C-alpha cells in the first residue's frame, strides 16, 4: 500500500479547498464562543449534607458560615461572584477553585459535605450536562 506524504496531499488541494477548510474552522470557533458561554448568575445556592442550607443573591457582599462534620466552611459572596474562602477539609480543592462567576459553576467540599453553586441565567456547557 502506498502512503502519500504530506507534500503529496498538499499538491492535491486547490484554492477552493483551502477556503472550505478556513470556513469550517471559522464556524467551529464562532460556535464554541457563542454556544458555550453561560449567562450571568443571580443567586448562590449553598448545600450542607445534601440539603439546601442557604440561598442568597449576588447583588451585595456577605459571608455565609456553613457547619459540617469537620467544622465550619466559610463562603464569601461579592457582587457577581462567590467563593469558598476556607474549609476544614484536608486537600482544599474547593478553596483552590477560587471565585466562581458563571451560572452553573460549582465548588464541592466533599469531606465536609458542603457545596456552593451559582444559579440563574443559562448554564455553561460541561461534562455533567452532556
Phi/psi class of residue 57: alpha, beta or left (left: φ > 0; alpha: ψ in -120 to 50)?
A: beta
Tens digits of residue pLDDT in 23-40: 999 999 988 877 766 667
> Domain containing 24: what range?
6-35
d(CA 66, CA 102): 22
Residues 6+ apart with CB under 8 A from 63: 74, 75, 76, 77, 85
> Are residue 56 and residue 106 in the same domain, yes or no?
yes
Tens digits of residue pLDDT in 54-68: 999 998 899 999 999
What is the reported pLDDT for 103? 85
Per the prediction, the chain carries an average pLDDT of 86
Has residue 89 been placed in a domain? yes
What is the reported pLDDT for 1? 42
Q: Among 12-21, 48-57, 98-107, 119-128, whose mean pLDDT is lowest? A: 119-128
> Are residue 81 and residue 97 in the same domain, yes or no?
yes
| Cell reading at 47 | 448545600
> Are residue 30 and residue 48 in the same domain, yes or no?
no
> Are residue 56 and residue 12 in the same domain, yes or no?
no
Confidence of residue 124 (pLDDT cuts 50, 70, 90): low
> Are residue 49 and residue 109 in the same domain, yes or no?
yes
> Are residue 53 and residue 99 in the same domain, yes or no?
yes
Place of cell 447583588: 59
Write the CATH number for 64. Answer: 2.60.320.10
Tens digits of residue pLDDT in 67-110: 999 999 999 999 989 999 999 999 999 999 999 988 888 999 99
How many domains does the structure of the chain reveal? 2
Amino acid at each position: 500500500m502506498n502512503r502519500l506524504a504530506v507534500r503529496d496531499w498538499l499538491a492535491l488541494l486547490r484554492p477552493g479547498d483551502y477556503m472550505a477548510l478556513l470556513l469550517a474552522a471559522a464556524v467551529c470557533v464562532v460556535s464554541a464562543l457563542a454556544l458555550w458561554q453561560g449567562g450571568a448568575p443571580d443567586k448562590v445556592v449553598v448545600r450542607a449534607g445534601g440539603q439546601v442550607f442557604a440561598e442568597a443573591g449576588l447583588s451585595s457582599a456577605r459571608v455565609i458560615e456553613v457547619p459540617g462534620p469537620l467544622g465550619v466552611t466559610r463562603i464569601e459572596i461579592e457582587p457577581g461572584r462567590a467563593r469558598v474562602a476556607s474549609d476544614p477539609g484536608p486537600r482544599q480543592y474547593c478553596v483552590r477553585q477560587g471565585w466562581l462567576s458563571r451560572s452553573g459553576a460549582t465548588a464541592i467540599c466533599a469531606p465536609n459535605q458542603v457545596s456552593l453553586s451559582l444559579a440563574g441565567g443559562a448554564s455553561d456547557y460541561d461534562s455533567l450536562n452532556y
